[in-house]
Structure 1
Amino acid sequence: MPDAVMLFAAGFGTRMGALIRDRPKPLVEVAGRALLDHALDQCARIPRRVVNAHYHAEQIEAHVAGLGIPVSIEKPEILDTGGGLRRALPLLGPGPVFTLNTDAVWRGPNPLHRLAAAWDPGTMDALLLCVPLFRAHGRQGGGDFTLDHGRLSRGGDMVYTGAQIVNPALLEGIEGDAFSISALWDKAQATDRMRGIPYCGHWCDVGHPGGIKVAEEMLRDV
């Protein structure tokens, strides 16, 4: 089981509109708590937690001050998820890591525990947690993948939840500073070392203003 998690909190969150005029998206509140805190709940037992930041980075730093969580600042340019992971590697340490987006809310079993139970470093370099489209609350648009006996292919009705385990060795050979985590998936898929598993609970995308109400309704249904 990986002992480090990367929490992606550096995005601009432009779909949030006026809600992020003076704060970063991870500090937008759902049910009275910041999105970042909802994400931190999921990885409370992971020894090493790292958050990245770019937009209003000082607010992210202040929010986690006193928690012993280092912040990987991306300046002057934002690095996207793949570049952000590469920048944070000195803080994360060696070996596979969890990564977790901070613009979602969960209802059900801990997603990282689900990933850890299915992780097999002998056959995998990337393991993505996906949820069926009908349980992807607040989702705008279709799915991301088809899941067939553990293997993923692009397109379909399975939505990537933003939670995964990935081997940072996949970063080797990728050029440029800013790039998406999907570049790592392409490499893992090319060697048949990319897998997926379904999430049995409920998940809500809070990347847009309408997702806040949907998430709060989902949480009230517990």
Structure 2
Amino acid sequence: MIFAAGKGTRMAPLTDHTPKPLIRVGGRTLLDRALTLGRDAGAGRVVVNTHHLAGQIRDHIAGQDIAISHEPDLLETGGGLRKALPLLGEGAVITMNPDVIWTGRNPIRTLLDHWDERMDALLMLVPLARTHGRQGGGDFSLGPDNRLIRKGDLVYGGAQIIRPDRLAEIPDQVFSLNRLWDLMIAEGRAHGVIHGGEWCDVGRPDCIPLAEGLLQHG
């Protein structure tokens, strides 16, 4: 699943008339770059959620084998994933944020190589020193058996494999996947793997030249 519903307020004014996933970096849209990563890793069923300027995203992916989960009201990542479950089917789900650029090995392939059926979540993490455009510190550190620990110098890169079963335990309609991660972390069932390349946040206009420079030299 690719999260493409947000308003992209940090990317304004570019997102006043263009949804952030359709912003171009290095001549290609962020959404197309995310779709390529998923397909190159062997992803089959693909779902994209929409809200802001949804018609543009719908037209952009028309004719491709991609399902759309439209959100009349924004549900955040947790609520958005739960709404999309009927389109995704049973079992663990790969989720991606399209507003990032990766260099090095395909992060989805790395996640699949390290996924273990005993896990509830496996997050792709990037050392803070190898991030670009990042504002703020890290998100996590890793404990024994690469279990997630809150706080540290590892940044969540916006790609993961996650079991959605426990979404039913959260009563709110609108919520972040952080709520689900916390449940899994408490039980030692959320894990992380470190990306070997570089990573750039493309959440603001000033991040676009950073990302394009990274692509040129990556």
Q: Structure 2-normalised TM-score?
A: 0.96
SS at match of 1:109: coil
Residue 141 of structure 1: how far off its partner (Å):
1.3
Residue 155 of structure 1: how far off its partner (Å):
1.3
Q: Within the alignment, does 1:38 sit opposite 2:60 as a pair?
A: no
Query: For the residues of structure 2 that align with 1:199 and 1:157, how far apart are their CA atoms?
Result: 13
Q: Deviations over 1:129-177 (max 9, x none)?
A: 1000111111111111112340221111100001000001121211121
Partner of residue 214 from structure 2, selected from 182, 203, 218:
218
Q: Deviations over 1:64-98 (max 9, x none)?
A: 111110111001x1000000000000110000010
Aligned residue identity for 1:42: L
Partner of residue 205 from structure 1, selected from 201, 205, 208:
201
Partner of residue 125 from structure 2, selected from 130, 133, 157:
130
- The within-5 A match list for 1:40-189 is 40-44=35-39, 45-75=42-72, 77-122=73-118, 124-149=119-144, 150-189=146-185
Q: CA RMSD in A?
A: 0.9
- The within-5 A match list for 1:11-26 is 11-26=6-21
Contact 2:148-2:188 at 8 Å conserved across structures: no
Aligned residue identity for 2:131: A
Q: Deviations over 1:175-201 (max 9, x none)?
A: 121110111101111211011110001
Contact 1:145-1:156 at 8 Å conserved across structures: yes
SS at match of 1:40: helix
Query: For the residues of structure 1 that align with 2:114 and 2:65, how far apart are their CA atoms?
Result: 28
Unaligned residue ranges in structure 1 (runs of 5+): 1-5
Aligned residue identity for 1:168: P
Q: Deviations over 1:29-65 (max 9, x none)?
A: 1001111011111101201111001000111111111
Contact 1:36-1:102 at 8 Å conserved across structures: yes
Contact 1:54-1:73 at 8 Å conserved across structures: yes
Aligned residue identity for 1:140: Q
Aligned residue identity for 1:171: L
